Amino acid sequence: MERNRNSRRWTLYGVGIVLLQAGLLAGCDRSAEAPTPAPTANAVASVAATPAPKGPPKLILAFGDSLYAGYGLDRGRSLPDAVQARLRRDGINATIVNAGVSGDTSAAGRQRFAFALDNMARKPDLVLIGLGGNDVLRQISPAETRANMTAMMDEAKRRGVPVMLTGMMAPPNLGPDYTSQFNGIWPDLAKRYHAAIYPFILDGVIGNQRLMQADRVHPNPTGVARIAARVAPVVETALGKVR
């Protein structure tokens, strides 16, 4: 029964990918009507209104694509907003700067990663990296995605900034060779760079129509809340290791 449910969810995910590739749904594409934020620290900052609790301040950079940017959601309802609210509720004085840009591939992220770090108020205590969905959409070579992700990990390491990865997975309809090569990128990098990881950002949400927007690729507010409930504890653990 569980296998059947999982298979159906992956099928719906694959359908969403096919629709996006056909240009019927442009949620992850730069040509979408949703505004694309400029990649500057001020322009992309999206800080929840929840008052920060007492305690040492923690600064987090959320660097990703539309799943971070909050495509299709009202302002202040993005995943970084939801994670920040949970951290503060748990007594962690965290501010998350949202540097999510809808449409970004790993290559586009690589191009602006250093710029985003340079424009932070100070060196962040943690960087969340969530890219790869648009690489799947365009069926970019997993080797290229791996090279881009590795370059960003190297840059963060050079700066002494801890990283937490929110991983992406390719749907089975792209074939076993592509999926095995692509899906292995995030656990491999997490192991190599001793980074925290939430293996699949859409886990428990993809395929559930009550939790997804009409494009079947982006979570709705309820879906975002579910993802945040799972991601926030991993962020807390990662922050706990920061000296």
Q: What is the pLDDT of residues 42-101, one digit of tens each?
A: 334 444 455 546 678 999 999 999 999 999 999 999 999 999 999 999 999 999 999 999
Q: Is 165 helix (H, G, I), strand (E, B) or coil?
A: strand
Name the DSSP letter for residue 161. Answer: -
pTM reported for the whole predicted model = 0.82
CA-to-CA distance for 176 and 234, rounded, in angstroms? 29
**Residue 194 catalytic?**
no
Identify the pLDDT of residue 242: 64
Q: Is 74 a catalytic residue?
A: no
Is 218 an active-site residue?
yes
Q: What span, in angstroms and rounded, lies between the C-alpha atoms of 14 and 205?
A: 14
> How many whole angstroms separate alpha carbon 213 and alpha carbon 223?
9
Q: Is the pLDDT of residue 238 over 60?
A: yes
Considering the segment(s) 2-240 as one domain, its CATH architecture is 3-Layer(aba) Sandwich (3.40)
Residue 179: HSE in the Cβ half-sphere, 13 Å Cα cutoff: 10
CA 108, chain centre distance (Å):
14
Given the residues 46, 65, 66, 78, select the one marked as catalytic: 66
Task: Yes or no: say if 71 and 20 are a contact pair by the CB < 8 Å rule.
Answer: no
Active-site residue among 46, 106, 135, 218?
218
